[in-house]
Amino acid sequence: MRYLFGTLFFLFSISISGQILNVESLRKVTDTSGFTGSASVDFSLKRDKNEYHELSSNIHVQYKMNRHLVLWKNDLNLKSIEGNKFQNSGATHLRYNYRFHPRIAWEAFVQAQYNKVAKIDFRGLLGTGPRFKMTKYENYKIYLGITIMYEQEELSDKVTPIQRDLRGSSYLSMSLYPTDNLTIVGTTYYQPKLRHFTDYRVSSETSLLFNVFAQLAFKTSFIFIYDNAPAVDIPTSQYSLTTGLVYTF
| Backbone dihedral angles phi then psi of residue 10, each to the nearest 5 degrees | -65, -40
Question: Three-class SS of residue 62?
Answer: strand
Q: Give pTM, 2 decimals.
A: 0.80
Instruction: Compute the half-sphere exposure of residue 67: CA atoms within 13 Å on the CB side of its CA.
Output: 10
Q: What is the pLDDT along the chain (249 residues), one digit of tens a residue?
A: 554 444 443 333 333 344 566 666 556 555 567 888 888 877 766 666 666 777 777 878 999 999 999 999 877 677 776 666 665 777 889 999 999 999 999 999 999 888 877 889 999 999 999 999 999 888 889 999 999 999 999 999 888 999 999 999 999 999 999 998 999 999 999 999 999 999 999 999 999 999 988 788 998 999 999 999 899 989 999 998 888 888 888
Domain spanning 2-248, CATH architecture: Beta Barrel (2.40)
Residue 198: CB atoms within 10 Å = 8
Spans of all domains in the chain: 2-248
